[in-house]
Structure 1
Amino acid sequence: MPITKTPFGTHENQCVHLYTLENASGMRVKLMAYGAAITSISVPDREGGRVELVAGFDKLDGYFSDAYRANAPYFGGTIGRYASRIKDGKFSFDNQDYLLAVNDGSNHLHGGITGFDKRIWTAEAVGEDTVRFSLHSPDGEEGYPGNLDVTVTYRLTEDNALEMTYTGTTDQATPLSLTNHAYFNLSGFTETIHGHTAHIDAQEFLTPDETNIPVGARTPVTETPADLRNTTSLDDALPHFPTGFEHYYVLDHSNGPVAEFSHPVSGRKLTVFTTEPGALFYTGYFTSDELQRENGDRFGRYRAFCFEASRFPNGPNLPEVNDAVLRPGDTYAATTTYQFTF
C-alpha cells in the first residue's frame, strides 16, 4: 500500500509528520519525524481486529506529558549520538579529552539532554515500503566533536520484517552508536511480559560497575539465570533479578538470528537479526505505571521489553573496542531487523 503522510502534532513551531506503512499481510508501522521514532507496530488478530505490539502514543502530545518527561522511557526513538551510557560523561582519544552532557547521575545516557530522539528529523518516503530519516548534528552538540550526518532507513517487507539501516559520516573523529528504543509486548499489552519466552544467542554479557556501566569485564552466562541460549520463560527468569534484565549481551552471530521472543498464548513471535556486536535486553522495570496509550493500553513495570542492538556501552572508554569511534572518510553502517510472526 502507498505510504501515507499525515500531521501528527507541532513542536517548536514545526509540524511533525507521521508516516504509515502497511503490507499485504496487514502489518502496519507508524513512524514520526520527531526522534525518527516508531510510534506503533500493529498486526491483525485472530478475531479480525488489530493488536498493538509496541509502546507509544497516537498523538505527539503524549511524548511531552509530565509523566513521560519525568520517566524518560525513550519509547521507539532513534538513540544517538551514543546509545546507552558513557561513564562520567568523559572519554579521550587522539590525545584529546572530551566532556559530555551528564543526564543520568554522573553519567551520559543515550546522547545526552537533547539526544537524537528529541530532534526533528528530515523525512523522505521512498517507494511504497521505505521511509528515510536524516539528521545533521553540529560540532559540539552535547559535547561531541565533529559535524555528523546520519540517516536511519525503515523498510517494511512483505514477509513482515521491519528493516532498520543506519549510516553516518563525520568531519572529525566522534563516538557513534545508533539504536532503536522500541518497547515490545507481544500479548498486545493485555498482560505483563512474564508470559513471554526469550532466546538470546550470547555466551557473555558485559559486567556493569556500581553505576550500571561496563568498564571492561565480561560475565559468562553459563550456569547463571542470565543464560538465555535455550528458550526461557520470563516468568521463571525475572525473579532472579531485583530489577529485571538490563544486560548488554555480546552476541553470537553464527546462527543467523541473534534473538527470538515469543508469546505462546497468542502465537506471536519476534525474531531479531543484526550486524551489531551486542544488544541491551531491558525488561522495563523502571517504566512508569502512569503511562498508557490513548486507547487504554497500559505501559509500566514489566509491561514491555527492549532489545537495543548497538555498539558496546561505554565503548569510547573500553580499550578492546575498535568500532565505537567514527573517523572522517569512513562510513558508519549498521542494520537491525525485527521479523514478526502472527
Structure 2
Amino acid sequence: MPRTTTKFGELDGKSVALHTLENANGMRVKLSDYGAGITSIGVPDGKGGRAELITGFDSLDGYFGEAYRANAPYFGGTIGRYASRIKDGKFSIGGESYTLAVNDGSNHLHGGIQAFDKRVWQSEGVGENSIKFTLHSPDGEEGYPGNLDVSITYRLTEDNALEMHFAGTTDKATPLSMTNHAYFNLSGFTETIHGHTARIDAAEFLTPDETNIPVGERTAVAGTAADLRKATKLADALEHFPTGFEHFYAFAPPTTSAPAAAPPREVAEFTHPASGRKLAVLTTEPGALFYTGYFTSDELKRENGDQFGRYRAFCFESSRYPNGPNLPGVTDAVLRPGESYSATTIYQFTF
C-alpha cells in the first residue's frame, strides 16, 4: 500500500510530518520527523480492530507533556550520538580528552540533553514502503567532536518485518552508537508484560558498576535468573530483580571476520502466548539492552487510553557497548574519518 504523510504537529513554528507505512497484511507503522521515531506499530487483532504494540502518542504534543518530559522515557526515538551511558561523561581519543553533557546523575545518557531523539530530522521517501531520515550533528554538539552526518532508513516488508538501517560519516573521530528506543507490549496494552515470554541468545551480560555502567567485566548468565537462553515467562524472571531487567546482553560474535558486513542474525524472541503474537529481533550489533520499564511513569498513556507505566512495556535496544569509548578492547565504539558507520536491526512480527 502507498506511503502516506500527514501533519504530526508544529515545533518552533515549523510543521513536523508523520509518515505511515502499511503492508497488505494490515500491519501499520507510523514514523515521525521528530526524533526519527516510531510512534505506532499496529496489527490486526482478529476482531476487526487493530492492536497497538508500542508506546507513543498520536500527536507531537504528547512528547512535550509535563509527565513525559519529567519521566524522559525516550518512546520510540532514534538514540544518538551514543546509546546508553558514558561514565562521568568523559572519554579520550588519540590522547585528547572530551567532556560531554551530563544528564543522568554523574553520567552521560543517550546522547545528552538535546540529543537525536529531540531533533527534527529531514525525511524522504525511498520506496513505496520505505522512508529515510537524515540529520547533521555539528562539531561540539553535546560535547562530541566532529561534524557528523547520520541517517536511518525504515522499511516495512510484506512478511511483517520493520527493517532499520543506521548509517553515518564524520570528519573527526567521534563515538557513535545508534539505536531505536521502542517499548513493546504484544498484548496490545491489555495487560502488563508479565505474561510475555523472553528468549535472549546471550551467555553473558556486561557487569555494571554502582552507577549502572559497564567498566569492562562480564557476568555469565548460567545458573542465574538473568539466563534467558530458553524462553522464560517474564513473571517468573522478574521475581528475582527488584527493579526489573536493565541488562546489556552480549551476543556471540558474527561468523564472518567483518562484523559490519555480517548479515543480521536473530538474537531474541518475545512472545505473548495469550494472543499468539511474537517479536523476533535480528541485528548486526554486538549486544542489546533489555529493559522492562520499571521506571516508566504510570501517568503516561496514549490519547486513546492505552495505559503505559511500570512493567507495561519492554525495550530491546541493540547497539554498540555502553561506555564503549572507555572499555578496553572495544574497537567499534568510535567512528573515524573515511569510515562508514553501519548497523541494521529488524523487528520481525508474527500475528
What SS does the corresponding residue of 1:207 show, helix, strand or coil?
strand
Equivalent residues in 2 for 1:211-230, closer than 5 Å: 211-230=211-230
Q: Does 1:187 align with 2:187?
A: yes
What SS does the corresponding residue of 1:63 show, helix, strand or coil?
helix
| C-alpha distance after superposition, 1:280-320 (max 9, x if no partner) | 00000000000000000000000000000000000000011
Q: Does 1:335 align with 2:341?
A: no
In 1, the alpha carbon distance for the partners of 2:137 and 2:21 equals: 27
Q: How far 1:336 moved relative to its partner?
A: 0.1
Structure 1 runs of 4+ with >4 Å offset:
none
Contact 2:204 2:221 (C-alpha < 8 Å) held by counterparts: yes
Letter in 1 for 2:276: G
What SS does the corresponding residue of 2:135 show, helix, strand or coil?
strand
Letter in 1 for 2:166: Y
Q: Does 1:15 align with 2:15?
A: yes
Q: How far 1:256 moved relative to its partner?
A: 3.6
In 2, the alpha carbon distance for the partners of 1:127 and 1:237 equals: 42
| C-alpha distance after superposition, 1:41-97 (max 9, x if no partner) | 000011111000000000100000000000000000000000000000000110100
State the partner residue of 1:239: 239
State the partner residue of 1:312: 321
RMSD between aligned residues: 0.8
In 2, the alpha carbon distance for the partners of 1:159 and 1:304 equals: 24
Equivalent residues in 2 for 1:250-269, closer than 5 Å: 250-252=250-252, 256-269=265-278
Letter in 2 for 1:11: L
TM-score, normalised with respect to structure 1: 0.99
Equivalent residues in 2 for 1:1-342, closer than 5 Å: 1-252=1-252, 256-342=265-351
| C-alpha distance after superposition, 1:154-198 (max 9, x if no partner) | 000000000000000000000000000000000000000000000
Letter in 2 for 1:233: K
| C-alpha distance after superposition, 1:109-159 (max 9, x if no partner) | 000000100000000011211000000000000000000000000000000
Letter in 2 for 1:136: H
What SS does the corresponding residue of 1:258 show, helix, strand or coil?
strand
What SS does the corresponding residue of 1:61 show, helix, strand or coil?
helix
Letter in 1 for 2:331: N
In 1, the alpha carbon distance for the partners of 2:136 and 2:201 equals: 35
How many pairs align?
342
Q: How far 1:103 moved relative to its partner?
A: 0.2
In 2, the alpha carbon distance for the partners of 1:318 and 1:303 equals: 33
In 2, the alpha carbon distance for the partners of 1:256 and 1:107 equals: 31
What SS does the corresponding residue of 2:57 show, helix, strand or coil?
coil
In 1, the alpha carbon distance for the partners of 2:323 and 2:160 equals: 33
In 1, the alpha carbon distance for the partners of 2:183 and 2:323 equals: 22
What SS does the corresponding residue of 1:257 show, helix, strand or coil?
strand
In 2, the alpha carbon distance for the partners of 1:171 and 1:51 equals: 44
In 2, the alpha carbon distance for the partners of 1:176 and 1:257 equals: 23
Letter in 2 for 1:307: F
What SS does the corresponding residue of 2:316 show, helix, strand or coil?
strand
In 1, the alpha carbon distance for the partners of 2:276 and 2:47 equals: 14
> Gapped runs of 5+ residues in structure 2?
256-263
What SS does the corresponding residue of 1:191 show, helix, strand or coil?
coil
In 1, the alpha carbon distance for the partners of 2:12 and 2:113 equals: 17
Contact 2:265 2:284 (C-alpha < 8 Å) held by counterparts: no
